[in-house]
Amino acid sequence: MRVPEELETAFKNGFQEILERFAAQKGLIPEAGSLGSERFLARSVIPHVQKLSSLFNREENTAGQGSGLDPYWKESSNPGNLRLAYFLSFMPCNLFRVASIWSELGRLGFRWPADRPLNAIEFGAGPAAGACGIAAGERFSALGLSKVATWALIEQEKAVLQMGADWASHYFAELGFRDWGTRSFHRKIQLNAGPQSGFLPRSAPRFNLWVASYFLNEFPESSAELAESLVRSWDRHLDEEGLVIIVEPALRAQSRRLLEVRRELLRIREKRGIDWLQVLLPCLGHQACGALEAKEDWCHEEVSWWRPPYIREIDEMAKLDRKTLPFSYLVIAKSRRARDQILPALAGSGERAHRLVSPAHLEGRDSEFFICGKEGKRRARYRAEGDSFERGDILLGAEIRGDSQASRIEKMKGRLGK
């Protein structure tokens, strides 16, 4: 996915200072310059970063096993440093992922209605990476969000929820969103525990933006049960014209599970004639998922960013490579408007909008890549004439000949790249 240059470079300078000021004020780090100290990072941060990394990267682990971070938050011998390691090392990456999705909506012409205050909720907020990601997205790639906003943060772990609420208030103000506030809800969400179960209690209000970042995979329920609970909650607690942004890891198991949730959502939509439920992104239609057709396949995005200097240092010390950030995602709209009205940049492409779902490489004078569209996923070539393609690019009105194994794009009406 290509993001605007302003967002891509936004974290190179400035972010580290904002974060250091906050962490020093809250006593999370010894002093404002600590993030520049190799000794401090090596002692207090890197061991936890490595543990968390191996927990998150256990490929076949945990999708749907419900293990997640919960036991880990508690079991660590030094929970304070564990929270700090997550905050310093993982939160900014998830923040950037969410901001990138916001910029993708912007690239496709989505605009927030001028007279609608933001009334948002983040589930499994942890250190509020999702709420802060929307703020960064809006600051560096604006969709016209209102100056007044409330964020409800839901999280089962009290200390990390407090950190998230404090950090979000600090970051919002630093970005100039002085009338954005938070409310914290310390709560363990349970989906199958009797009448009060569900993402929100019945008495909860409606929201117009739902964000869940690296959260759904921590549930033990099946994709069908998750989808069922989601639709029920959106029916009651998502405003008309509201948006839902779900971000999940790019690993095969977790990514496939998100694709299965999409499939189940569309099944429910079809079966019950729910006309307000639209999957907006990354798929450009409600077709059967191209990746789920093959057992070993999955679908993810990737964004590049200029890392804050201390994250480059952490990466070097912990032997991580996060120059690019992979992730899987879904954006859902509760809207009866046609997709072209919601995402006007796609207008006129009808059924013929395709997304690149792999990197591109050169085959002679052709560019070769996988695309996904109405007819599913296919390998395609295009005589690019020096033009470069990237995962996430969108081809509009493409005329394609051939089958899923070998197609040729004869021509296209347009392309949404940078």
Q: Closest CB to ligand SAM among 98 and 277?
A: 98
Residues 81-120 that bind ligand SAM (CB under 6 A): 90-91, 94
Q: Closest CB to ligand SAM among 73 and 370?
A: 73
Cβ atoms of 211 and 98 within 8 Å: the answer is yes
Residue 189 as a binder of ligand SAM (CB under 6 A): the answer is yes
Pairing of strands 118-123, 148-155: parallel
Q: Closest CB to ligand SAM among 70 and 390?
A: 70
Cβ atoms of 249 and 286 within 8 Å: the answer is no
For 320-324, the CB contacts below 8 A with 24+ separation are 320/49, 320/53, 322/93
CB atoms within 10 A of CB 254: 25
Q: Closest CB to ligand SAM among 207 and 215?
A: 215
Beta partners for residue 149, in sequence order: 118, 180
Residues 128-157 that bind ligand SAM (CB under 6 A): 129-130, 154-157
> Could you tell me how far CA 291 lies from the centroid of its own chain?
19
Residue 317 CB, nearest approach to ligand SAM (Å): 21
What is d(CA 165, CA 127) in angstroms, rounded to the nearest whole number?
7
Which segment (208-216, 263-271, 320-328, 368-376) binds ligand SAM by CB under 6 A? Answer: 208-216
Which segment (62-70, 100-108, 111-119, 368-376) binds ligand SAM by CB under 6 A? Answer: 62-70
Could you list the beta-strand ranges (E) of 268-321.
Answer: 277-281, 301-304
Using CB under 6 A, pick the residue from 11, 171, 177, 214 that binds ligand SAM. Answer: 214
| Angle between the N-to-C axes of helices 46-56 and 309-318, in degrees from 0 to 180, rounded to the nearest 10 | 70
User: How many residues form the binding site for ligand SAM (CB under 6 A)?
Assistant: 22
Residue 290 as a binder of ligand SAM (CB under 6 A): the answer is no
Residue 129 CB, nearest approach to ligand SAM (Å): 3
* Site residues, ligand SAM (CB under 6 A): 68-70, 90-91, 94, 124-126, 129-130, 154-157, 160, 188-189, 213-215, 218
